[in-house]
Chain A
Amino acid sequence: MEQVPSFLTSPNLVQLVSSLTLHCPPIAKMRSKDRISYFYDGDVGSVYFGPNHPMKPHRLCMTHHLVLSYELHNKMEIYRPHKAYPVELAQFHSADYVEFLHRITPDTQYLFSHELAKYNLGEDCPVFENLFEFCQIYAGGTIDAARRLNNQVCDIAINWAGGLHHAKKCEASGFCYINDLVLGILELLKHHPRVLYIDIDVHHGDGVEEAFYFTDRVMTVSFHKYGDMFFPGTGDVKEIGEREGKFYAINVPLKDGIDDTSFNRLFKTIISKVVETYLPGAIVLQCGADSLAGDRLGCFNLSIDGHAECVRFVKKFNLPLLVTGGGGYTKENVARCWTVETGVLLDTELPNEIPDNEYIKYFAPECALRIPSGHIENLNSKSYISTIKMQVLENLRSIQHAPSVQMQEVPPDFYIPDFDEDEQNPDERIDQHTRDKQIQRDDEYYEGDNDNDHMDVG
């Protein structure tokens, strides 16, 4: 054989290599290039909620168009989602509700005033032409996205049409009819023992939280405006889940005008702790753009960069990632934001000058991609934010203590496993669960435990 070059055997090199391995925990095992699946259906362009309704699916066309004009389509695969079947929607929603959505049309709705009230259709969630088709498209997109992740044919899946996080099992709410996020998470749960849901919409992700309130297989984390009767009214830091799901719902209630710096710091602290503690198999990220400055309904001061920074941070965990849209009612800003975030997920920095395109006039006169942060007074004092943070972290600690949850031994400081840890311990964990359930009825059991916990901690 050829002679080994002398520099390869030099002790320096050995040292170098070993130090490299030492300093590069599995997190550094970067995928050379993420495979991205992006979902879009041109039919959303003709969906119209009606005059004066702030939800405008047309923003999806604008987003897609902006993505194309930056030529981002050449870095990813674009799919047209299948239209989800009623039976798929009924995985979460009650069959009668799905059936009703399927059947109702603007012309016949006056015959069903009782049902409309029952399912909370009408004012915020109007019945419009193609309503059901619209639901099928966006729900189908999220379901397909989850399935592609499950099949490991992509690493990141994007469905800007999805993210309708308010929809409840048996009723519509807050412009949301079908909760595609819940359906997507259910799909992911077929392959992952634990799924993490993160929500940066300005509104509380109540539909998702509610659906998974009793389970520890999904952890929901929502950052949102809370108080002043802001919709939907839930999302206090004290809502932490119940039964098996106790401590598996995290709420970060914020006040008006939070800015990039404090939001990002808070987001990173909490999310890194969550990932470290919970070790999810996959992450679902709802990127509602109504948390941007200048949103028609929102009240935060986030710039597009601040918003996108959250996406960048979550991407770094290198876990299967499903990204959806959500709220967002100033539609050019929505298009800007989601285009930038598509770029972030594709590791592509986008120039600020928007290229010419059909919709350029919507972005005129500056035609700039990034919007600056807003100037609403920031009502989140430092002490308020730190109180919230402490409370959330305190609750997270309870997970490590709760005997019923039995995670594998707590990994050392900020260690994000890249191997499939899911396969290793979950069985045990679940077994433990089943046993617990057989032994005792939940409430008393948990209460007792938590008391002990608190004593331990405090």
Chain B
Amino acid sequence: MAGWSKLADGSVVDCVKRVPEQEILKSNGFEVDPLPKDFEPESEEIRRWFYQFLRVFLKEICGRENLGNLLPPMLGDAQTVDLFKLFLVVRERGGYKAVSKNGLWELVAKESGLESCRSSSVKLVYFRYLDVLERWLERVADDRANLKSKSSDISSSLSEYLMELGAEFKGVLSNSKEKVKEYLHLEESNCLLNTEGDLYLSRNDVVMAVDSDEESMKVDSTNSHVDNSDVANLYDVENKRSSSRKRKPDSMWKMLGWVIGIGKDPCDPLVGSLPEKGKWKSYGNDNLWKQVLSYREAVFSKRHADSNAEQLGWQKIQKMHPSMYDDHIGSGYNLRERGKLVSGDTTTQSRDCPRALSFGAQNDSDKRGVKNHEQKELLQTTYSVFDYEVEKQIPIGPAFQVEIPEWTGLPYENDTKWLGTRVWPLEKVEHRILIERDRIGKGRQDSCGCQFQDSFECVRFHIAEKRYKLKIELGSAFHNWKIDKMGEEAALSWTEEEQKNFETIVRLNSPSADKRLWNVIFKCYPTKSREELLSYYFNVYHLRRRAHQNRFTPDDVDSEDDEELESGLATKGFMHETMESTSSIFHSPNKKHKKSR
């Protein structure tokens, strides 16, 4: 806005008829004229810029969106008011207050190329559209006054000044990066969110307002950056923060001038040809083109990071919507969803954000629901303008890919180490007993000859019989594979009472209540090893539960084992709402499987 006030000041100077440039420099402290030498207040590009700025200003800072769209305003007789001219004239006369006080509105109307009888309308128009701007500029100018003494020194050396601008520009870039981070981590902070959000809107809006020709896009993004820093500065002013960033918009102004120049005539020899991206580094930051291009890059990568993060937040909400998944197993699911960017730098940054986001979301998903809705809209408009890759990308870099030695054409020498230890067939025959073996791969016989087929005893008998055969056949492999610990045999070392207790404990500590169950179990059976307990759990407890289900609720067997679902079923088909489950597990859209048959 220093640039802007320069325009104001400068125009004053201009009206006083062309003070030499050095004078302008001095009077403004540090002004370098980025505009064409034949600068005139009437010049079209300045006017265009003014309108654009005004539109953004009214909309973003004053929140008067409708006004911004109505530029330029028309008077009753369909005469348009040249706001730019009007503004300059009033400034020349000392501003709104001075003009009103001195009753100069007629004169102003006349000077603005309107009939003097229209003075009241002109006043109204000025008040509506320009007064805020004027007051805002004044505030800024006040602030700038503090800087004056210092800046007059700087003005002596133009190149020095340019260097400084470059450095400042860097500051702006890193600053905006910081902001992204801040934004991601402190998303609850409305102030920041709004600032950022508004900025997006403004950028989009402006882009849409103008045609999508690339050059003009550049202009617009630059514009919105002016806006961006203005907003930032506005906050600064209001918060009476340090004035370290005061001159930043100036560099923007220069950049803007350059971009406008290009936009006007892309073939302008002054622009010259830009070096390739790879060579940018060798150019100093004082090159305007470089500032513009780096800025554009920064803005785009920032937007990328942001949109990724937003996308994630939004996805999460969508995911947790009850109507979409009847499982609701975990809100933490989104911990799995990473925004992974291609470039190395941003990767680390963005990898952290989704986590931060999702933790936030767990706490107050409701609140976020509303906010995310907004973000979603925002996102959609964003996509309509910028065509982003929104899919998850494969991360690239030494931290992700494996190094593969070049194929030499010769296989490595055979490595006979670590080929595994053969367990089966047995190294040496351990039994001389002849085993009557069934045909390999043979299924179950239809009839077993038991008195009551498929009775509890019958099944048990056949299992035991089979087990015995297997044990003899496998010999040492039987123990190696821990088959001795498989099946209900695991219960042999348990007393009746212990078994009963176990069941009670499991039932009382529904595993939905997390890991408590096992703590309790470990405590209750201090003499049993963890392995034993687990073995009992899988081989006896679950097997029995399943057998129970098979007999009593054969149509409602939920193979999906453990715990939660089964314990629910055991108490007569009561389905747990797993909403509250805190553990994060694979998410799947089709939940609640019955055993498929």
Contacts and interface: CB of A to CB of B under 8 A. Distances in A.
Nearest to A375: B596
B419 A229 contact: no
B364 interface: no
A77 interface: yes
Interface in A124-148: 124, 129, 140-141, 143-145, 147-148
Interface stretch (B81-89, B193-201, B476-484): B476-484
Contacts of A296: 560, 588, 593
Given A58-B538, A71-B442, A350-B441, A151 B414 contact: yes
Contact of A358 (B467, B546, B581): B467
A217 B333 CA distance: 34
B77 interface: no
A143 B418 CA distance: 8
Interface residues of A, number: 131
Q: Interface majority SS on B: helix, strand, loop or mixed?
A: loop
B399 A75 contact: no
Interface string A268-292: 0000000000000000000000000
The listed residue with most B CB atoms (<10 A of its CB), out of A69, A81, A364, A368, is A364
Contact of A92 (B402, B530, B585): B402
Nearest to A79: B420
Given A46-B531, A52-B562, A359 B443 contact: no
A359 B544 CA distance: 10
Contacts of B485: 45
A212 interface: yes
Contacts of B419: 79, 144, 147-148, 151, 153
Interface string B275-300: 00000000000000000000000000
The listed residue with most A CB atoms (<10 A of its CB), out of B318, B406, B488, is B406
Contacts of B496: none
A236 B585 contact: no
A365 interface: yes
Contacts of A65: 483, 486
Interface in B411-433: 411-412, 414-416, 418-425
Interface string A282-309: 0000000000011111110000000000
Given A46-B531, A351-B442, A191 B336 contact: no
B395 interface: yes
A364 B391 contact: no
A39 B443 contact: no
Contacts of A129: 530
Nearest to A39: B420
Given A144-B418, A150-B411, A213 B587 contact: no
A42 B484 CA distance: 10
B487 interface: yes
Contact of B336 (A174, A350, A364, A372): A174
B511 A52 contact: yes
Interface in A13-40: 37, 39-40
Nearest to B532: A46
A366 B391 CA distance: 44
14 contacts: A40-B481, A45-B486, A46-B531, A46-B535, A71-B441, A79-B420, A80-B480, A94-B399, A120-B335, A147-B415, A190-B412, A229-B318, A233-B392, A352-B443
